[in-house]
Amino acid sequence: MLDQAGGYTTVDGRKIGGVVMEMKNITLRFGGVVAIKDISFDIREGEIRAIIGPNGAGKSSMLNVISGFYVPSEGEVWFHGEKRPPMRPFEVARQGIARTFQNIALFEGMSVLDNVMTGRLTHMKTGLFSQALWKGPAEKEETENREVAEKIIDFLEIQHIRKTPVSRLPYGLKKRVELARALAAQPKLLLLDEPMAGMNVEEKEDMSRFILDVNDEFGTTIALIEHDMGVVMDLSDRVVVMDYGKKIGDGPPDEVRNNQDVIDAYLGVAHD
Amino acid sequence: MAQTQSGAEGLLSLPALLHRNATTFATAPAYREKEFGIWQSWNWAETEQEIEALALGLINLGVNEGDFIAIIGHNRPYLYWAMVAAQSVGAIPVPLYQDAVAEEMAYVLGHCGARFVIVSDQEQVDKVVEVQDQLHQFEHLIYLDPRGLRKYDHSHLHEYRHVQEQGRAAHDEFIADLKARRAKLTYDSTCVMLYTSGTTGKPKGVVLSNRNVIESAKNSVEFDHLGRNEDILSYLPMAWVGDFIFSVGQAYWCGFCVNCPESAETMMTDLREIGPTYFFAPPRVFETQLTNVMIRMEDAGRLKQAMFNHFMAHARKVGPRILDGKPVNAWDRLKYAIGDMLVYGPLKDTLGFSRIRVGYTAGEAIGPEIFDFYRSLGINLKQLYGQTEATVFITVQPDGEVRADTVGVPAPDVEIKIAENGEIFYRSPGTFVEYYKNPESTASTKDPEGWVATGDAGFIEESSGHLRIIDRAKDVGTMAGGAMFAPKYVENKLKFYPDILEAVLFGNGRDHCVAFINIDLTAVGNWAERNNIAYASYLELAGHPMVLTAIQQHVEEVNRSVAQDTMLSGCQVHRFVVLHKELDADDGEMTRTRKVRRAIVEQKYADIIAALYDGSASVSTRTEVTYEDGRKGHISATLKIGDAAVQPVAPHKVAAE
């Protein structure tokens, strides 16, 4: 299916580009525990890539490796054709990778708008002093950043809570605000850690729609971890399946669904 | 009578009014919309250019004179422009309710044979695409917001902006045609077609001419002395006649500014930011606002509460009199002025009512307490009575003659008569042309002399000349004992309690009345929180014994009040049940304008009604519900039936028919 040079075309006719990120033989150890064992896969430009697996399979660890929070014990991370040296998470963010968290990590006391604005931090160039005075370039910069933030607020339909402190919001909306903050960074690669966890059906549908729209509208490459199999199979273009830190499957949803190893490990017994 | 009115100053259509506004008040704001957190605005000159570009684009796409163009979406300047652009090219705009499900839309789109549909976003595109195979005449779909639509097949799908661009590009080619089409519009051309939601049967397309719309706008504007400096907030459904008259008819006649909220959820914030001078809302909006104020006051500090209660009591005493310009002594006036500084002013500011000169409520009866609350604050809230077929106005309350229990005197140029059976008839320049493709209904509603049956029963109060509405004429019935049955009268009394969202009374042909009650989740939920009552769902809260006790008290109070009305004392509620789900338009139990469809409710819940009459203490039931996305599910519940004390009534005779 993949042509190595120019990517591939999805079922619904989207053009997927070349490799954006490549994980080469990643192994991650915590003391004696091997969380990830010799895993390789790539993420291509414009695709929605899912990482799935049962509890404890090492999905979140893998996401943390991609986001630079963990440095792999062995193996290499290649981003845009360059090998990435060990980096601090904020340096990774500057490279154009943004993420959301499984347990929401917003600034609870701040308003939705302020939270979204923090996502613009990596794009701010003026110093603390000129921002405090709010003169000249700082003023212009804030206006520009506010514009980006407002477009995202509009996109995710959270205008009505713009000025509401995050602590007052229900869970489903907090998740959406987190996505808004990640998008405010205008990332090249967006990492979503269980975006649908703990949501009801309606909220899941909304979130799925937003993920697809983000990919479609902004052309953002998305890597996501998710438990809900139905959602994963509907949303993603290619799926990596992990079990006990190992990769046991990789390919388009239909292929993965019929992979015997995956059925055995993750889905248990097939019900036919 | 009609022939004498040829349209003042030759302004015979909305495009003509637009041109006058664009030349006379070119730089005055015509539209504002909040987008990306900022109020964007367009003046009249810009508005005319936008509309012209769209009109040229429509000609470019092949719109013919006489075509129907359906418009579906929430209130946005672009969609209002679409209506006037359609009129400019000789087509007829047909706004639809945006929350209608695809099948409902299919009926209306098929009935008018719309060749073009202009919608707001992907949600509406999906609905139209879903039913397009049933629509033979449908050709092109134009959308505003391109989000999520990139991958759609664009052979019949066009972005609004692109249609305008193509229109601008083809300016020289089509401008002569556009001008010719505009010049052909007369006072009798169709201005708009609006589908009535209809409490029974299929919706009917009400055809309104330019005469209907412009005369009604002109008369009502003069009645309330509205000018070009008004600001209104347009948030009510565009398919509703009221919105068409306020946001299009009156706005174009006067040249005032139409403000569109950012989204339905931000309406209250936007209301406050705009501070309209002229405001229209169904009673429900005022009720919700009042409930919110009361809830927030309960959370306020002791001093603030005391101040609020003290000054509100004073406002209730003298506020309405001051508003009506009646004599009030100097001390009370001074105290009211102090109250205005400390309480009323800040409260009106919070509600967004600081600048209101004229406010209207209509559609349903409003609770006297709610009505008086707003009036006592100095907000000139009035009632009107109208319907789509009348281009809104039948009766209106003049300043200084405002009461909660009447709907006012006949609007300018409107004649009213009451038939033998109590049904109200009217005749006016706003009287609709016809129901589209439905001559039988037209004939049965409008007689050859132009009198239109409203379907409402009422009477003119002799002392004041004001009209009082009793109920829908067809809902007024007779009970087994011969007493008059007018459900709305009792239901309204019940609904005036903040705890009760909706009530449905049964009893026609029976020997006593029973009622369904819907609790108001906001009010009752708040009460539950305050009293540490835990509940997991609407169902559980609705069935809570303490809720039932509270509702029972309300019902008994209503019974006491009903017993005092000599005509309707037979309508006291003997038994009631608190329903396990809210009556909902998606389930067909209500119209889109939230009027209960009595027959459907009666049929759907026949088992509960049977239990109410056979004396059982509870009833188990299973109800089908429709979710917003059209899927269906079931709710099962066992409902307790409450008994309410009734007042003894001396048997008295009602004119038997």
Task: Give the 3-state secondary structure of B613-639.
Answer: HHCCCEEEEEEEEECCCCCEEEEEEEE
Count of pairs with CB atoms under 8 A, one residue in A, one in B? 38
Nearest residue of chain A to residue B627 (CA atoms): A202
Residue B91 gets which letter from DSSP? -
3-state secondary structure (DSSP) of residue B239: coil
Which residues of B fall within a CB distance of 8 Å from A159?
A: 37, 262-263, 265-266
- Predicted local confidence at residue B414, as pLDDT: 95
The domain segmentation of chain A, as residue ranges, is 1-96+187-272, 105-174
Question: Do the Cβ atoms of B36 and A157 come within 8 Å?
Answer: no
Confidence of residue B650 (pLDDT cuts 50, 70, 90): low
Buried (b) or exposed (e) across B166-184, using 16+ Cβ within 10 A? bbeeeeeebeeebeebbee
Contacts of B275 (CB under 8 A, 6+ apart): B231, B352, B353, B354, B355
Question: Do the Cβ atoms of A159 and B151 come within 8 Å?
Answer: no
- Predicted local confidence at residue B193, as pLDDT: 97
Question: Do the Cβ atoms of B151 and A14 come within 8 Å?
Answer: yes
- Predicted local confidence at residue B588, as pLDDT: 86
Question: Do the Cβ atoms of B148 and A212 come within 8 Å?
Answer: yes
Question: Do the Cβ atoms of A160 and B38 come within 8 Å?
Answer: no
**DSSP β-ladder status, A238-243 and A246-251:** antiparallel
3-state secondary structure (DSSP) of residue A172: helix
Nearest to B265 among A146, A155, A160 (CB): A160
3-state secondary structure (DSSP) of residue B12: coil
Question: Do the Cβ atoms of B37 and A155 come within 8 Å?
Answer: no
Q: Residue A238 half-sphere exposure, CB side, CA atoms within 13 Å? A: 20
Higher pLDDT, B364 or B316: B316
- Predicted local confidence at residue A179, as pLDDT: 95
- Predicted local confidence at residue B215, as pLDDT: 95
Nearest to A162 among B35, B37, B147 (CB): B37
The dihedral through the CA atoms of B105, B109, B112, B118 has a sign that is: positive
Mean pLDDT of A199-225: 90
- Predicted local confidence at residue B9, as pLDDT: 60
Query: Which amino acid is residue A113, in one-letter code?
Result: L
Tell me phi and psi for residue B283, to 5 degrees: -50, -35
Mean pLDDT of A116-131: 84
The answer to which of B13-27, B272-286, B564-578 has the lowest mean pLDDT is B564-578
pLDDT digits (tens, 9 = 90+) for A93-108: 888 999 998 888 899 9
Chain A, residues 201-240, CB within 8 A of chain B, namely 202, 205, 209, 212-213, 216-217
A160 touches chain B (CB under 8 A): yes
Higher pLDDT, A136 or A185: A185
Nearest residue of chain B to residue A151 (CA atoms): B36
Report yes or no: A250 and A239 within 8 Å, Cβ to Cβ.
yes
- Predicted local confidence at residue B199, as pLDDT: 56
CA dihedral A198, A201, A207, A213 (to 10 degrees): 160
To test the contact with chain A by mutation, choose from B33, B35, B36 the residue with the greatest count of A C-beta atoms within 10 A, namely B36
Q: Encoding tokens for residue A14? A: 């989207």
Q: Residue A242 half-sphere exposure, CB side, CA atoms within 13 Å? A: 27
To test the contact with chain B by mutation, choose from A154, A209, A214 the residue with the greatest count of B C-beta atoms within 10 A, namely A154
Terminal C-alpha separation, chain B? 37
Question: Do the Cβ atoms of A217 and B150 come within 8 Å?
Answer: yes
Burial of A31 (0-12, 13-18, 19+ CB in 10 A): exposed
CA distance B21 to B256: 9
Nearest CA to CA, how far is A116 from chain B (Å)? 13
The answer to which of B363-377, B418-432, B598-612 has the lowest mean pLDDT is B363-377
Nearest residue of chain B to residue A15 (CA atoms): B151
Confidence of residue A270 (pLDDT cuts 50, 70, 90): very low
3-state secondary structure (DSSP) of residue B72: strand
User: What is the 3-state composition of chain A as percent helix, strand, coil, each rounded to the nearest 5?
Assistant: 40, 25, 35
Residue B596 gets which letter from DSSP? B
Q: In what order do the strands lie in the sheet with B231-233?
A: B38-43, B29-35, B257-260, B231-233
Nearest to B35 among A154, A160, A212 (CB): A154
Terminal C-alpha separation, chain A? 28
Give Cα separations from B124 to B71, B74, B102, B144, B543 (angstroms): 10, 10, 9, 10, 37
- Predicted local confidence at residue A214, as pLDDT: 92
A162 touches chain B (CB under 8 A): yes
The DSSP bridge partners found for residue B35 are B38
Radius of gyration of chain A (CA): 19
Contacts of B473 (CB under 8 A, 6+ apart): B421, B422, B423, B454, B455, B456, B457
pLDDT digits (tens, 9 = 90+) for B473-512: 888 888 888 888 889 888 988 988 888 989 999 999 899 9
pLDDT of residue B80 exceeding 70: yes
Confidence of residue A268 (pLDDT cuts 50, 70, 90): low
CA distance A190 to A20: 12
Question: Do the Cβ atoms of A213 and B151 come within 8 Å?
Answer: no
- Predicted local confidence at residue A210, as pLDDT: 92
**DSSP β-ladder status, B500-506 and B513-519:** antiparallel
Domains observed in chain B:
2-213 (3.40.50.12780), 394-473 (2.30.38.10), 477-643 (3.30.300.30)
- pTM, full prediction: 0.84
Question: Do the Cβ atoms of B263 and A212 come within 8 Å?
Answer: no
Question: Do the Cβ atoms of B151 and A216 come within 8 Å?
Answer: yes
Report yes or no: B159 and B67 within 8 Å, Cβ to Cβ.
no
The candidate with the shortest Cα–Cα distance to B281, out of B295, B271, B294, B291, is: B271
Report yes or no: B575 and B510 within 8 Å, Cβ to Cβ.
no
A157 touches chain B (CB under 8 A): yes
Confidence of residue A264 (pLDDT cuts 50, 70, 90): confident
Question: Do the Cβ atoms of B147 and A150 come within 8 Å?
Answer: no
Report yes or no: A45 and A20 within 8 Å, Cβ to Cβ.
yes
Mean pLDDT of B163-181: 96
Question: Do the Cβ atoms of B37 and A159 come within 8 Å?
Answer: yes
- Predicted local confidence at residue B6, as pLDDT: 44
Nearest to A12 among B151, B265, B269 (CB): B151
pLDDT of residue B306 exceeding 90: yes
Nearest to A157 among B35, B36, B263 (CB): B263
Q: Encoding tokens for residue B553? A: 């008290």
Question: Do the Cβ atoms of B263 and A160 come within 8 Å?
Answer: yes
- Predicted local confidence at residue B657, as pLDDT: 37
pLDDT of residue A263 exceeding 90: no
pLDDT of residue B656 exceeding 50: no
The topology under which CATH files domain A1-96+187-272 is Rossmann fold (3.40.50)
pLDDT of residue A265 exceeding 80: no
- Using DSSP, how many helices (H) and how many strands (E) does chain A show? 10, 12
The dihedral through the CA atoms of B325, B331, B332, B338 has a sign that is: positive
Question: Do the Cβ atoms of A212 and B262 come within 8 Å?
Answer: no
What is the average pLDDT value for chain B, to the nearest integer?
90
Give me the percent of chain B exceeding a pLDDT of 90. 65
Question: Do the Cβ atoms of A147 and B36 come within 8 Å?
Answer: yes
Question: Do the Cβ atoms of B36 and A213 come within 8 Å?
Answer: no
Which residues of B fall within a CB distance of 8 Å from A209?
A: 148
Residue B18 gets which letter from DSSP? H
Which residues of B fall within a CB distance of 8 Å from A147?
A: 36
pLDDT of residue B1 exceeding 60: no
Q: Encoding tokens for residue A94? A: 């500057």
Q: For residue B510, how many other CB atoms are within 10 A of its CB? A: 17
Question: Do the Cβ atoms of B37 and A213 come within 8 Å?
Answer: no
Question: Do the Cβ atoms of A150 and B37 come within 8 Å?
Answer: yes
For A38-88, the DSSP string reads: EEEEEEETT-EEEEE-STTSSHHHHHHHHTTSS--SEEEEEETTEEPPP--
Report yes or no: A35 and A26 within 8 Å, Cβ to Cβ.
no
Mean pLDDT of A170-198: 92
Nearest CA to CA, how far is A58 from chain B (Å)? 33
Confidence of residue A269 (pLDDT cuts 50, 70, 90): low
CA distance B499 to B524: 6
Highest averaged pLDDT of the listed ranges B53-67, B146-160, B291-305:
B53-67
The candidate with the shortest Cα–Cα distance to B514, out of B622, B635, B605, is: B605
Nearest to B266 among A14, A159, A213 (CB): A159
Confidence of residue B147 (pLDDT cuts 50, 70, 90): confident
Nearest residue of chain B to residue A213 (CA atoms): B148
Question: Do the Cβ atoms of A209 and B148 come within 8 Å?
Answer: yes
A148 touches chain B (CB under 8 A): no
Confidence of residue B314 (pLDDT cuts 50, 70, 90): very high
Start-end of H helices in B132-247: 160-169, 171-184, 210-223, 241-243
Q: Kindly report the length of chain A.
A: 272
Confidence of residue B200 (pLDDT cuts 50, 70, 90): low
Nearest to B148 among A146, A153, A213 (CB): A213
- Predicted local confidence at residue B69, as pLDDT: 97
Burial of B342 (0-12, 13-18, 19+ CB in 10 A): middle
Nearest to A217 among B147, B265, B629 (CB): B147
The answer to which of A94-103, B56-65, B221-230, B559-568 has the lowest mean pLDDT is B559-568
pLDDT of residue B434 exceeding 80: yes
CA distance A122 to A119: 7
Give Cα separations from B159 to B93, B155, B163 (angstroms): 18, 11, 6
Nearest CA to CA, how far is A17 from chain B (Å)? 17
Q: Encoding tokens for residue A225? A: 């971890």
Give Cα separations from B165 to A177, B51, B57, B179 (angstroms): 35, 12, 7, 19
Nearest CA to CA, how far is A96 from chain B (Å)? 23
- Predicted local confidence at residue B295, as pLDDT: 82
Give Cα separations from A141 to A124, A138, B295, B508, B597 (angstroms): 7, 5, 41, 69, 56
Highest averaged pLDDT of the listed ranges A68-77, A241-250, B52-61, B556-565:
B52-61
Q: Residue A265 half-sphere exposure, CB side, CA atoms within 13 Å? A: 22
Give me the percent of chain A exceeding a pLDDT of 70. 95
- Predicted local confidence at residue B651, as pLDDT: 53
- Respond yes or no on whether ipTM tops 0.85: no
Nearest CA to CA, how far is B148 from chain A (Å)? 6
Mean pLDDT of B35-39: 92
For B458-506, the DSSP string reads: EEE-TTT--EEEEEETTT-EE-TTS-EE-HHHHHHHHHTSTTEEEEEEE
CA distance B216 to B241: 12
